[in-house]
Amino acid sequence: MKREKTVLFLCTGNYYRSRFAEELFNHRVVDAGVTFAAQSRGLAVERGTFNVGPLSPFARQGLGERGVTLLGGDRLPQQCSLVDLEAAHHVVALDETEHRPLMRERFPYWENGVEYWQVADVELTSPKLALAEIEQQVDALLTKLFAG
């Protein structure tokens, strides 16, 4: 049996965007018989002072609308560590503008080894648009990973 490979999704607080991407990715691969699974972490969990509970209501609602059964909806946000980055086969940060500086500051060696998307947080992009963009990016990533 092949060892499972990990895709690591990163956002700032591990509460909204990265969690949505993680749950959606894992939902989409369940029946595909592939050797990938997703995890997610935050680059600056301490900045999520207004994040209440384990998962953003926007993420929870968006996943429900897509028929996704939550696998990790009850776990609290987790801070990214060097161990998380080293264990991942592929790393995605959800918003280059926001997350590249955090990568440079906290994990400089990894800054250029991350795939950066362009999905802004709720202050800049409506959840409906952001989640649709994440969904499109997750599907494209799955296609890329399955082809490789």
pLDDT tens by residue, 4-34: 799 999 999 999 999 999 999 999 988 666 6
Query: Per the confidence metrics, is the pTM higher than 0.85?
Result: yes
pLDDT tens by residue, 61-114: 999 999 999 888 789 999 999 999 999 999 999 999 999 999 999 999 999 999
User: For the chain, what is the domain count?
Assistant: 1
> At which residue do the structure tokens 């990016």 appear?
137
Residue 21: what pLDDT?
98
Measured between alpha carbons, how far is 23 from 16 in angstroms, rounded to an integer? 11
Residue 73: what pLDDT?
78
The mean pLDDT of the chain is 91
What secondary structure, in 3-state letters, does the chain show?
CCCCEEEEEEECCCCCHHHHHHHHHHHHHCCCCCCEEEEEEECCHHHCCCCCCCCCHHHHHHHHHCCCCCCCCCCCCCECCHHHHHHCCEEEECEHHHHHHHHHHHCHHHHHHCEECECCCCCCCCHHHHHHHHHHHHHHHHHHHHHC
Q: Which domain holds residue 15?
A: 5-147
The pLDDT confidence band at residue 115, using thresholds 50, 70 and 90, is very high
CATH number at 139 reads 3.40.50.2300
Q: Which candidate, 138, 38, 50, places its Cα nearest to that of 94?
A: 138
